[in-house]
Amino acid sequence: MGPLKINVVEYLLIALLSVGMVVIVFEAVHKSIYLNGNNPVRKSKIVQFIIGTIFFACIIGIFVAISMLTPPIWIIKLTYPGDVILMLTFVAIFLGWIIMGKKRELYSITPFVVLMAAVGILQRIPVLLAIVGSSNIKFLAAGAAIGGFLINIIWGRIEMKKIARD
């Protein structure tokens, strides 16, 4: 296990893509509200599904392309324990911002963030990585991502219903 390498250019490109994706999704939702009843996009759930699937597949493809093709121009290397401290700091700041700001609409994402951070930290601590096994960490990461995502969906729906009632 070597140092944690952070490609600044890759992170900036992914951040730009994420912001762009949010803007596009909100614009699409805004425009779809004003579509007339005869529009095929508004009438057919299948067309909506196909458009959504193509859009998100393209976004995922762009994320993968950025990760694979970004040149290693600005690389920041963090060694153990600095990498673990950095991850814990980011998680603490994120959770503090959500909890102190009472951002109920974001409570549902906290299990996902905590689970992914736990897997990231687990990967960086040699003793824990030896216990879990380096070959099993991929399965643990996938399980944490899926579990966190499912918790996010269920908890998010419950919170949105509470907010709508209030």
Residues 10 and 27 in one domain: yes
pLDDT above 90 for 93? yes
Going by pLDDT thresholds of 50, 70 and 90, the confidence category of residue 1 is low
Q: Can you tell me the mean pLDDT for 99-107?
A: 80
In this structure, are 67 and 120 located in the same domain?
no
pLDDT at 89 over 80: yes
Whether residues 73 and 86 share a domain: the answer is no
What pTM does this model have?
A: 0.57
Domain boundary (19, 54, 77) is at: 77
Please report the pLDDT score of residue 84 as a whole number. 83
Range of the domain at 66: 1-77
Peptide bond into 3 cis (omega under 30): no
Total domains in the fold of the chain: 2
* C-alpha span between 151 and 73 (Å, rounded): 37
What would the pLDDT profile of 13-68 be if each residue is shown by its tens digit? 999 998 998 888 888 877 777 777 777 777 777 877 888 888 888 888 988 898 88
Residue 109 structure tokens = 């994402």
Query: According to the model, what pLDDT value does residue 16 have?
Result: 92
Instruction: Please say which residue of 49, 77, 105 terminates a domain.
Output: 77
| 46 and 92, same domain (yes or no) | no
**For residue range 108-153, what is the model confidence (pLDDT) as tens digits?**
888 888 888 888 888 877 777 778 777 777 888 888 888 888 888 8
Alpha-helical regions (H) of the chain: 8-33, 40-43, 45-69, 82-100, 110-124, 126-132, 137-165
Same domain assignment for residues 20 and 96: no
Check whether residue 112 and residue 131 sit in a common domain.
yes
Are residues 86 and 147 part of one domain?
yes
Last residue of a domain, one of 30, 60, 77: 77
Let me know whether 33 and 89 are in one domain: no
Model pLDDT, residue 2: 66
The C-alpha R_g of the chain, in whole angstroms, comes to: 20
The pLDDT score that the predictor gives to residue 126 is 76
